Every structure is written in C-alpha cells, then in structure tokens.
Chain A
Amino acid sequence: MGKISNEELLNSIKAKFESEVSNVTEPFGLLTFETSRDNIIDLLTFLKTDEKLQFIYLTDITAIHYPESDKQIGVIYHIHSLVNNVRVRIKVFLADGDVHLPTATGLWNGANWMERETYDFFGVVFDGHPDLRRILNVDDLTVFPMRKEYPLEDPNRVDKHDFFFGR
C-alpha cells in the first residue's frame, strides 16, 4: 500500500536511533515500536523533517493504563506520512508518579488539544505545553478518570455486578 515498506522505514529509524527502539511489532501491517521519554521528541522531529519519510501528519495522541506493569502509563502517538501513505505507531511508557513527557506542540499545533485530552484522562504531564488544562472533564475533578482504578459507576452498587461473566 505505502510507498516505503515497514522494513525500510524501520531501518532508517534504527540508523539514527539504534538502541532506542524496542518491542517492534506489526499488528495489521502498522509498524509499532516503543521508545524512551528522552528520545521521543527527537524521534518525532526526525520522522517529520526527514526528506524521504515526511511524517508530517499527526493523527492522534492518546494513552493507555496498565496498572499491573512497572511502567503503568503508555502514551501512544499515531503519525502518518501523507506522501508515502504509511502510518507508524510510537509508544512511550512511563512509571506512575513520574508521568512527565516533553510536549509535541512545537512540532504540530494540533498536538495541543490531544495532549490536553491525554492529560485530562490519564494525568500525563506534558512539559512545555503552553496551556495544559483539563479539556473535557470539569475543572474541579481531582482524579484522572480513564485510569483503570476508577470504576465506571459507584463501586458500592451491587445490583449491577455480573458475578458470572466478569466486567
């Protein structure tokens, strides 16, 4: 489909960030890998500005919470090279209590609200963000509701428990 294959793409990323790319997978043909907090902005800048790759389009920023693992919060970037028609998914995992990540607003203006949404729901603090406030939830909320420890409904209710089939 795309003009450059995932292998080619991965090689050109690895040429610059050899030791910083881990857990490479390709679910449904979409190249996915993890990187570290220190490299994420450099990596995004490289992908965006490289003449051949041109990942100029930020599709989405979101996060995920794995309460069982050491690094609980994962921030997930989907970026898209419109010229080559290739997408890539980059993940950065962060330990709870130190959920800081540099902002991508310097690269894309559109990252602003996506990061605010991620902050609002997962508490990821994007350092250097110009206006990191809650966006969809009320300002007075003290928790980050998409984290797994917060139940959908009042946990004291028993009438809705499904003891046979789980969640």
Chain B
Amino acid sequence: MKNHLVFEDNDPQSELSTLNLGPTHPATHGVFQNVLQLDGERIVSGVSTIGYIHRAFEKIAEHRPFYQITPLTDRLNYCSSPINNMGWHMTAEKLLGITTPKRVDYMRVIIMELARIADHIVCNGVLGVDTGAFTGFLYMMKYREHIYEIYEEICGSRLTTNIGRIGGFERNFNTIAFDKIRKFLNDFPSVLKEFEALFNRNRIFMDRTRDVAAVTAEQALSYSWSGPILRATGVDYDVRVMEPYSSYDEFDFEVPVGVNGDVYNRFLVRNEEMWQSMRLIEQALGKIEKESSEIFHADVPEFYLPPKEEVYNNMEALIYHFKIVMGEIDTPKTEVYHAVEGANGELGFYLVNDGGRSPYRLHFRRPSFINYQMYAPMSRGMLLSDAIINMSSLNIIAGELDA
C-alpha cells in the first residue's frame, strides 16, 4: 500500500504499542479510524484516516437539478438534517433571487431549532454515556423521539427528512404539528433541567471532563473550528448573529460562550444552546400567529412545485411542473456562498452556476470535516479514555465528515 502508515518508532524493543481505534469501534460512535501509538495509556501520536463512507455528493450534485440535491444534504449531518435542507434551500433561493414570506422564515426557524435541540440531545447524552452515565441519555432520547414525531407530522419522514422546498414548505403545518411543538416546549424544560441537575455539578462527570482537551481560542480559530466547540473556547462566532438568515435578526436570543474550551465547557455551551433554541421556537410561534395562516411558500411558480390537483386541471401549473421536474428553469450564471449555523458549526454551500440544469460546482463546507482535523494533534499526550470523550464532545458525524 502506497500510503500505508509507517511509524518512525518501529523498534520492537520500544515500549510503545500501536492501537487501531476504529474504523468500527463502538466507543467512537461512527466510522472513524485512528491509529494511535500508546505509551501505557497515554497517546504519543495518532493518525486519523477518514473517508470510509464517502459518497461523492459533490460529484452527484453536478448531475442533479436543484430540487434533487436536498436529499443529498439530508445525509450530511443526519442528526440534524432539517438544518442542512434549509441551508441548501436558502442557498438556491439566494441564487434565484427568491424572498420568502415572513411566515416561512418563522416556520424554518422552528424546524431548524428543533433540529439543533435533537442534535445536542444526542451529543450531550452520548457524552454522558461515555463518562459512565446511561440514565441521562435514555431520558433525553425520548424527547428526540418527540422531535422526530414533529418532523413526521410536517414532512412525513424522520431521519433523512427532505423537509421543505425551494421557496418554502411543501405543505402547511397542520394543527397536530403545532400541538406537538407546544407540547414539546411544555414538557422538555423540566427534563433538560433534570438532565443538567444530573451532570452539571456531578463530581464524577466534572472530574472526567474539566480541563480535558482544553483548547485556546487561537488554536480553535487557526483550525477553523466553528459552532459550539468554538464558542466553548470563548469566541462568540455564530452565523445566526453574524449573517442573519431566515429572519434570525428579529429574534431575541443569546449566544452562550465558554471559557477554556474543554469538554465540560462544550457540554455546558450545548445545554445552554438548547435553552436558547426553545426561546427561539417560542418567539417564532408567537410571531407566526400574527401572519396569515395560509402562507407556507413564496409565490414563485417557476421554482415551486404546484399542487398535484392544479397540475391535472390547469395548463400553467402543468407547464411549470414539467419544467421544474425536468430542470428546465432559467437560473442566473453566477456564484453564491451561503452559510447557516448547523448544529456543529458553519455549514456553508458554495454554488457555482452556469445556467444549466444542475450546479456547475457545488461544494459543502462541512463543519465536522474541518473540526475533526485537530483531533489527532490534540490527542497527543492525552489519556486514551480522555481522547474518547473528547471525540464525543466534538460531535463528529461521519456523514458530514465524509460527504
């Protein structure tokens, strides 16, 4: 093998031992391989190998019309697919010059913040599991299930949601969806409080996480970190505030930051973000009530698929349907970069369009990919057990890592 790893220290007399952590190790929660050299339990050096589930999304996207790219984005960070979907829709809308009605923006905020909560539930829950506390994970998992039920009510699917369309949503939120969202907002705070009570001042948890994998702001910025793990180092970079999209500028929320960027800080930042997300959803529900309840998409017939009844009975709708499905819509020849605050950080879409049926080039700026590259260098000198919880707290999602 051309690129097979060869460590400099291959002396059999040496006391270092090599450990293959992954690709399918149960403690890594995903397909990651790290070849570590250990001195006892301390990591001397490590090399990460990634790409085990690379699916060539960027190449596929060059051969698909815009609306068929949404399902590809589902499979990036599959713990919070709706954020990816919305990010892609907003990129396409920016390119096509579509402005969405306020109600659509608020609906999107609700969905994206629910997705953020779902993502953080998994991450923080798993961090608990890795430090030896299963209870919190199981407690919180029930509420991720409730979030998935809300997705199901809105778009019909749960994990890979393909939620919404370019220009808005494929259908309006029904009353059951609103009831479920309200019920979630009502029930979840007490559980999150209990979860925090279980961990935040827990002696075992604090001993295991405090000052573990602490990262300075300079290091984090040099490695282009983004999202909760960057904010845990004290940098208040949040795309929702820096470049507000989907009317985030109308909302009142705080961006929590940590102090020293260790695993404990990341945990606290994520917990606080869940509280802030709930605030956002509550405000969005209030704002939605003031808008006309019939609007759920922008009035852009040339980009937004018409309802089926109209396609069968109305010539214009039939023409638009045909043109959209066959990808024969005119699109501007230009390039656009749009970023959203994904659950793991800045999720960017760089789209170069030549006016053809599909993008000329589409690049995903995937936060997991960029956040993960510090993992091997920062593991040096760390205990193996600390490296495991460090990986949990980075919340690397294999789908997003490998695209």
Interface residues of A (CB under 8 A from B): 1, 27-28, 30, 32, 56-60, 62, 64-65, 76, 78, 82, 85, 87, 89, 108-110, 112-114, 117, 121, 133-140, 145-146, 152, 165-167
Contact = CB atoms under 8 A, between A and B. Distances in A.
B211 interface: no
A165 B358 CA distance: 11
Contacts of B357: 165-167
Contacts of B328: 165
Contacts, number: 106
A87 B2 contact: no
Given A57-B224, A166-B356, A145 B59 contact: yes
B343 to A, nearest CB: 18
A1 B327 CA distance: 34
15 contacts: A1-B243, A27-B336, A57-B221, A59-B346, A59-B365, A64-B352, A108-B222, A109-B223, A114-B370, A134-B51, A135-B50, A137-B54, A140-B1, A152-B62, A167-B356
Interface residues of B, number: 51
Interface in B1-55: 1-4, 50-51, 54
Interface of B: 1-4, 50-51, 54, 56, 58-60, 62-63, 94, 219, 221-225, 235, 237, 242-243, 326-328, 334-337, 339, 346, 348, 350, 352, 356-358, 360-361, 363, 365, 369-370, 372-374, 377, 402-403
Contact of A110 (B59, B224, B356): B224
Contact of A139 (B1, B242, B356, B373): B1
Contacts of B50: 135-136
Given A59-B224, A108-B224, A30 B54 contact: no
B369 A109 contact: no
Given A57-B224, A76-B350, A166-B356, A27 B335 contact: yes
A94 B363 CA distance: 19
Contacts of B361: 64-65
Nearest to B63: A152
A78 B337 contact: yes
Contacts of B54: 136-137
A59 B348 contact: yes
B247 to A, nearest CB: 15
A153 to B, nearest CB: 9
A28 B3 CA distance: 42
Nearest to A134: B3
Contacts of A57: 221, 224, 237
Contacts of B237: 57, 82
A28 B245 CA distance: 14
Nearest to A85: B242
B236 to A, nearest CB: 9
A113 B373 contact: yes
Nearest to B401: A136
